[in-house]
Amino acid sequence: MTTTHSASSQSTGSATIVQDDVVRSSIGRKMLALTRISLGFIFLWAFLDKTFGLKYSTGAAVAEGEPTLSWIAGGTPSQGYLVFGTAGPLKDTFANIAGPASDWLFMIALLGIGLALMLGIGIRIAAVSATILLVLMWLATWTFAEGSNNPLIDDHIIYALVAITLAALYAGDTWGLGRPWANLGVVQKASWLR
């Protein structure tokens, strides 16, 4: 069902759908924006911590005076986890993909997803990328093992669902650059870039 809205707050073009077209509540749009920025920060923070060894999850256990496990100090952001931190029947598969390429792909994904979500641009690509990354991480933790918190749903699955929801509801338009991004010619020709 198509509704008519004032041009100042609604669709940027005759064929361009904006968030106001699908989310009628102003509070709802703001909550989606806050959720988008927060999820983006989770990815961006993981990138920063792994790159610079800010001693939160990366290098938190390193003794005083010893080098951190940061990427710039020679650490391997994905390899240790893929070889030693995985479980279940896919353990060997994950260990076999560990290498410098997995570090680069992992770090590029963290940075790209984090920036896209925080800026509100390319959220469809970010949602697909985040979902692939998070499902792989979910498989690597093998939540089906006895003693896990929940055999099916954990934070990886919830974050993936949130990313998909943000893309489906055009969450980059509120407190983000989603609307100007949607007006770019290349984005109008290839809506998957939205």
Q: What is the pLDDT of residue 149?
A: 86
Cα angle: 74, vertex 76, 80; to 5 degrees: 135
Tell me how long the chain is: 194
Judge if pTM exceeds 0.75: yes
Which pairs from 96-102 meet CB under 8 Å and 24+ separation? Answer: 100/76, 102/78
Contact 150, 19 (CB under 8 A): no
Question: What DSSP string describes 96-108?
Answer: HH-SHHHHHHHHH
Opening angle at CA 152, ends 151 and 153, nearest 5: 115
Task: Report pLDDT digits (tens) over 107-157.
Answer: 999 999 999 999 999 999 999 999 999 999 999 999 898 888 899 999 999
Residue ranges for the chain with pLDDT beneath 50: 1-9, 11-13
**CB 98, CB 77: distance < 8 Å:** no
Coil, helix or strand for 90?
coil
According to DSSP, residue 3 is labeled -
